[in-house]
Chains A and B, each alone.
Chain A
Amino acid sequence: MNPEEIGRLVRGGTRREFMGGLGLAGAAALLAACGGSKSASGSSATSGSTTTVTPTGGDLAIYSWPDYFVEKNLKMFEKSSGVNINISTYSDNGVLFSKLNSPAGSGFDLAIPTSGWIPQMAEKGLLEKLDHEKVPFDTIEPSLLDKNYDPNNEYSIPKDYGVMGVIYDPAATGGEVKTWQDFIDAGYKSGVSGKVGLSSSGWETVGAAIWAEGGDWNTTDTAVIEAGGEVMKEFAKNVKTFNTYDPNSLANGTLVLSQCNQSTARSAILLNKKLKFVVPGPTSEIWVDNYVIPAGAPDQDNAYAFLEFQLEPDNQVTETEEIGYPTAVKGLETLLPKSTEERALIFGGENVDLSNLTAFVVNPETIQLYDKLQNEIQAAA
């Protein structure tokens, strides 16, 4: 074992321990749960023969969610291109938006906002229009392209996606959770109340109540949002935490019912097989994280070169396996090894119908109301 490998193991080990307990990203816990990295599969991948952009060395500054890339892939790209990658992280789309919206945000070449924030970023002129000739769109799942938040993918390229669901311990809830109304009702039961997790985003907490009534969370009807807020303020007394990214607190019973994305749920279920994950009806959230090039990015050619490398199917599969979210590569279902543990959960579970789910789009007219309601809900908990 060479020193570099040892270094990687040591680093990986500490990060796993930390991230697993911390819930900054379910990804790391997933790694731990999988019992080590299955890093062999992508080893033959190098820059393909269809290179349209030749990197000229230099730097690539990425602004990203924490632990959102596969270390091995980054190394491989750095080696083949001579480009030096620097990653800074944020933990919130609001932080990303504020930073790109200020002088402090200049100097990034690539960022990864969630779908709903892209229209506002584009409107503010914070994003470069993409040069479609430099992006291998043909490797990307068509159903994730040309969406309402970015028609014709003028500004964004999907990286991966996730769904909002509910993870629960059937022994505690005493029955199945199938709808958002079931989720709300179950929260009040003794043995469940006080052990419930809710999202820290207003549109996701209030969204649960709106969905339970069959409503649309992108509505501009403030009465609908207010009514949902009232339901969740009442519900707040059942809540233990607004941190829903920690698989350990789900696995060890600190929480027995929680809103949760499928990646965190999968990590928790790998730790505790009694838990169940469902995307409740009648509808729920789908989010897509997208690569964008911030306006005035200094090393755009490097960004395109990196995107081309990143979007190669082999690398996309490795990323799915190691990060735990389904990447946007076309045909991922068939590319992903059959042996992957809790494989269906990567895609949101057996019976999830993605076409039935909606993405939240940030609207300056309603986001403040959602935020105010979230504050009131957290204050009431």
Chain B
Amino acid sequence: VSTVRIRKSDGHPGGVRWGAHLLAAAPITWLAVLFLVPLGFTVVFAFGHPTFGGVSTGFTLANFKESLSGLLLTVFLRTLRFAAMGTVLCLAVAVPIAYFAARKAGRYRTVLLVVLLVPYLTSFLLRILSWQILMAPGGQIQDVLNFLHLHHGTLNLLYTQTAVFIGIVYAYLPIAIIPMFVAFERVPNEAIEASKDLGAGRLRTFWHVSLRLARPGLATSTLLVFVPMTGEVVIPQVLGGGRGLLMGGLISSEYLTSQNYAVGSAMAVLVLAILVCAVALLSRLTRGFDEVPA
């Protein structure tokens, strides 16, 4: 399979490149001010001395020591398991939808995408809170399951792990679908026809051709879903009842309840360091297939 990359010999005059630099400057400034500067503060705080609701600057490793002595490690490992499980479930739902939208929906493709994305214009909190109503005993999910004879009597779903995972899959679905939609869309028809000509069935073609060629989309989706899941706070609180503490809850309580910005920052820095390593590793693993056939 031949690959086409953006060619440098496209003959853009120099002016356009300057324009491009100027265009890039805006988001870079945005990122620097709103992301790097706060990150810098977090790192400085992590080495400072905590006061209630403040930090006096200095250099100490005590905050890291305190972070590691408590629940951090157990909660961190639990959070990783949670995010991995959530990512697998989310992708399992997203792959068929993305595939269908990209290759089977035909002229309804745009409509389908709009239908998928429109709910996300509403407030995140409201959508999650709506799930709370649906899942509650006597709620609509119970009614539907009872009607279909899939369940009998009161449904004990709210404030369980299952409820949390349903919420997680729902909330992250569009982020998982879009990159894979793009990837599936780019799989050349010729490759699929060739596979069929060579005698592969639908499933085999999907598995060995479409999905293989869509790996960059799969990798992007995994990253985009997994990383924010490790910081998820709201869904475990609202649908899980706050049982089984996760990383996001631990760090936010260190900031907001204990008002200990130093230890909160140290925890955040530790988690960030581990996640950066994980992301670097993942992007290295996926580097081999970043060329998408045109």
Contacts and interface: CB of A to CB of B under 8 A. Distances in A.
B254 A98 contact: no
Contacts of A101: 53-54
A379 B129 contact: no
B68 interface: no
A254 interface: yes
Contacts of B250: 375
Contact of A21 (B53, B129, B242, B256): B129
Given A101-B53, A242-B241, A242-B242, A249 B158 contact: yes
Nearest to B154: A253
Nearest to A248: B136
B253 A18 contact: no
Contacts of A139: none
Contacts of A274: none
Contacts of A371: 253-254, 257-258
Nearest to B254: A371
B283 interface: no
Given A18-B129, A22-B132, A378-B245, A243 B237 contact: yes
Interface in B222-280: 237-238, 241-245, 249-250, 253-260
A95 B243 CA distance: 21
A120 interface: yes
B258 A368 contact: yes
Interface in B103-156: 126, 129-130, 132-133, 136-138, 154, 156
A35 interface: no
A381 interface: yes
Nearest to B257: A371
Interface string B45-56: 000000111100
A22 B156 CA distance: 17
B64 interface: no
A364 interface: yes
22 contacts: A18-B126, A22-B129, A94-B259, A201-B257, A202-B257, A241-B241, A241-B243, A242-B242, A243-B238, A249-B136, A249-B158, A252-B137, A253-B137, A254-B156, A364-B51, A367-B257, A374-B257, A375-B250, A375-B253, A378-B244, A379-B74, A381-B242
Closest 3 CB pairs of A and B: A241-B241, A94-B256, A242-B242
